[in-house]
Amino acid sequence: MKPTEMPVVQTAGLTKVFKDFWRRDRVIAVDSLNLEVRRGEVFGLLGPNGSGKSTTIKMLLGLLYPTRGRISVFGKPPTDVAVKARIGFLPEESFLYRFLNARETLDLYGRLFEQHTRQRRERIEKLLDMVGLTAEATRRIGEYSKGMARRIGLAQALINDPEFLILDEPTAGLDPIGIRQIKDVIRELSRKGKTILLSSHLLADVEDVCDRITILYGGRERSTGDITDLLSREDRTQFITDKLTPETVDTVRTLLHESAGKNILSVGAPSDRLETYFMQTIEKAEKTNARSSGARRSGALPDFLGATAPPNVIEHLVSEADRKPPPSTAELLEIRPRQEARSKSEAVIEHLTQPKPAPPERTEAQTPVVPEKQDASEADRSIIDALMQKKKDADDG
Amino acid sequence: MGRIWAIARQTIAESLRMKIALVFIAFILVLVVGLPFALRKEDSVSSAVQTFLSFSIGGVEFFLSLLAIFLSRSLSEEVAGGQILTLMAKPIPRWQFVVGKWLGIVVLVGALLGTSGAAIYGTARWMATRPPRDEFDQLRLRDEILTARHAVPITPIDFSETAERLFNERLESGAYEDVIEKLDKKKEKARLRKDAEQRYRTLFPLESRVFDFENVRCDRSPDRTIQLRYKAEVWAYPMDEVLRAEWFVGNPDLGTPLYQLQRRDVINRYHSLFVPANAVAPDRSLRAQLYNRNPFEGEPQYGNTISFTSFGDIEVLFTVGTFGGNLARQLTMVMCKLVLLAAFAVMTVCVFSFPVACLVSFAFLALATMSGFLNDSLIHFEDEGVYWAFKKFAELLYTVAFFVIPDFSKYDGTSMLVNGRNVTLRWVLTAISNLGLGTIGIGLAACLMFQRREVAETSF
Ligand SMILES: Nc1ncnc2c1ncn2[C@@H]1O[C@H](COP(=O)(O)OP(=O)(O)OP(=O)(O)O)[C@@H](O)[C@H]1O
Ligand SMILES: [Mg+2]
């Protein structure tokens, strides 16, 4: 393997077991993980809470020592100090010095890279500008809001112009503008050839920026691959058009049925597809009763909540005066004309999609798994052609 | 070095802004500036200055020791607060981080010690300008406190020959006739030697005694003085608390003048005779002779017996340096201890959470300060019965503990300084090398421990 092709991060059988005071195993946080982050890619580390994302990242940085397995970062062990000059790291919480102000904070980290004073000052100002905190740079970080501190955390991670950037939940605590900015920064840096490893819960963000992802559950790798590969379904075809009226959808449906004998499986706005994939992966892992020391899927709302709500006295008295049967759902719809107008189109679509097989679970409604075997590739072309033809006819007529 | 300094700077900035250091600065200010006013009522200026010096130096050392321990909190905060994660993801070796923390503490503590030292010096000098109670007060202040004097003890006298002679005499005279079989010659000779020594230290009426000193390396010009310092007991009937006697200092055989000094001193207290320095012979020897005779006419001639409890009760002192230099040397020794303590405190926070680390460091400080005392008390420990096992156990414990824990009292020159004794450069250098070695050892241990520690593991 040529050195340029060497992966930035490679782990083999990486395992971390947290022990208790008596050195007994307590938590298997990461279990036989084989990770590979290639040069120049944006790699996403996904997983529910406590699935071992942060633990993995900490081991990559030599902040935790693996129980078993090997790690190489730029071909060196993670404890190698020289390697760290090429890495930028944003921890999952912005652990900064409360008593230093933003500029002093960045100055401290700049000094740790033994940067020359001029270069350091220059970079600090540019980074402060990038995260939009130049005006607040003389305030102590202890006074900052969570998101502001997070921005300084990001600036701090970039001070050495790292080749490899590790971001642990970079968007946590940020406002939508901040999230957008981080995504832009990631894309920009990626375009400049940097390698980026990020962990996140915001799947839409991951989907937007990542080239490859690994989904962890209970410290184990559940799925890895190119994001487009993972999400593409060979047995399906997706159209994305401008918004269609229910009538058009109806037309298309009939057309499809006539020309290719196929049904439309779902109609709606394009959905968050990674979310679906993610849920499926985790569900599958849970079904196999996989061991996890992290958080499980949340259970039902505890029944004590709202069970014995104290009666509101005034409301009680008022309702006593003109006791009426509670309004039915239909009545409620009546008194809300706007709602009804909107739900009209929905009703149409619902009507249109009536004949589809009932989905077994709610989550699968968005991309239901249909057992019918249909030859998708064959259908493709002809359907589109037919559609084009139909439209032309309509226009002419 | 840049990285170490970056960490040190950060530590200093933190302790200043978190106001830990400020509290200690306030303490020290109260101590150094406030104390002289509290000592206004002291009867003489010289004793006021002495009290001030011993309390202010001791107090500053105590507070700075506490500060050195408290400042190490910075490292445990970083581990607990997660800042360590960001720091250790930067290209700084672990050992440099540990050294940086230690350096930050040392610089801050050193700066405070330097400032307090200057303040103590200034205050002492200022106190010395107060009107003295009498001439004696003034002299004492100048020649016995705000100075640095070297002390020479009596040249040891060997009494074993005398003992041998006495033994043979007694043997021949038949004094041992009854006990000759059971006689332990060695023990008997040792007893005789002790007797002879005690006899030498005792002057019956009209007896005189010669005390010789060697290596009195002072400036011998006649306008300088040397001091003969002594403390004696007197047995008299009727009881009198006054020693009346004559000293002859100098050795005309070696060409020096002979100074005759008539004394009327309170017994069991130290007194200093000021003698022109040309009483010291060219070969740096000095002879002083005490004549047990009342030189004062008109006062009754008592049948006094003068006795010195030990030969350590007589010594010769001469000025070799200044008060300022002496203070600087004493504070250098204090600094050595603080440097070692800082290293120890940093080592503990490399392993324990702060409360635990703090306790361990305090225990270390206490043991190091008291180790001399503890060692002594062990020697006088009950040696019988159940105590024996306990003693052995304690001994073992102490041997192990004091192999690791240095004896800080060995490097405490406060009492020397307060009495205008020279805190020798050699002593200071010993402190630097011994405590320095200790610091390096502790520092290495700290670096090793931190190297092995998983910094993201907070459940320590
Ligand atoms: N220092 C520690 N001591 C003991 N257990 C730990 C420690 N750090 C993490 N763990 C455990 O390891 C598992 C993985 O934790 P980790 O922080 O890596 O999860 P994560 O995927 O980053 O979760 P999140 O999304 O909440 O950040 C959890 O079960 C956690 O309790
Ligand atoms: Mg995490």
* pLDDT tens column, B400-430: 777 778 888 889 989 889 988 999 899 999 9
Chain A residues near any Cβ of chain B (below 8 Å):
18, 58, 61-65, 81-85, 87, 89, 91, 93, 95-97, 99-100, 104, 108-109, 111-114, 153, 156, 160, 166
All CATH 2.60.120 domain ranges of chain B, comma separated, are 202-321
What's the mean per-residue pLDDT of chain B? 87
Give yes or no for residue A366 having a pLDDT over 80: no
The yes/no answer on whether domain A9-232+271-287 falls in CATH 3.40.50.300 is yes
* Mean pLDDT along residues B365-387: 72
Distance from the alpha carbon of residue A293 to the mean position of ligand 1, in angstroms: 8
In whole angstroms, give the CA distance from residue A134 to residue B154: 76
Residue B166 — very low, low, confident or very high, per pLDDT cuts 50/70/90?
A: confident
Could you tell me which chain A residue has the CA closest to the CA of B460? Answer: A21
Q: Inter-chain contact B10–A114, Cβ cutoff 8 Å?
A: no
Q: Which residues have C-beta atoms less than 6 Å from ligand 1?
A: A 18, 27, 29, 47, 49-55, 92, 293-294; B 457-459
pLDDT over threshold 70, residue B453: yes
Residue B177: its pLDDT value, please?
A: 77
Residue B454 phi, psi (nearest 5): -85, 105
**Topology classification of domain B202-321:** Jelly Rolls (2.60.120)
- Residue B370 binned pLDDT confidence (cut-offs 50, 70, 90): confident
Q: Is the pLDDT of residue A114 over 60?
A: yes
The model's confidence at residue B438, banded by pLDDT at 50, 70 and 90, is very high
- CB proximity B430 to A under 8 Å: no
What's the rounded mean pLDDT across residues B251-269?
88
Cα separation, B14 vs A98, whole angstroms? 9
| CA of A219, closest atom in ligand 1 | 14
The model's confidence at residue B132, banded by pLDDT at 50, 70 and 90, is confident
Find out whether the peptide bond into B295 is cis, omega within 30 degrees of 0.
no
B276/A381 Cα distance (integer angstroms): 124
Task: Spell out the residues 6+ positions from residue B424 whose beta carbon is closer than 8 angstroms to its own.
Answer: B150, B329
Model confidence, pTM: 0.77
CB A82: neighbour CB atoms within 10 A?
A: 10
Tokens 């009107």 belong to: B131
ipTM, two decimals, is 0.75
Secondary structure string (H, E, C) spanning B49-84: HHHHHHHHHHHHHHHHHHHHHHHCHHHHHHHHHCHH
Q: Mind listing the pLDDT tens digit for each residue in A186-231? A: 888 898 889 999 998 777 778 888 889 898 888 888 888 787 777 7
Report the greatest alpha carbon distance in chain B. 91
Which residue intervals of A18-136 are DSSP H helices? Answer: 53-60, 102-112, 117-130
Which tokens is A123 given?
A: 């970079």
CB pairs under 8 A between A and B: 79
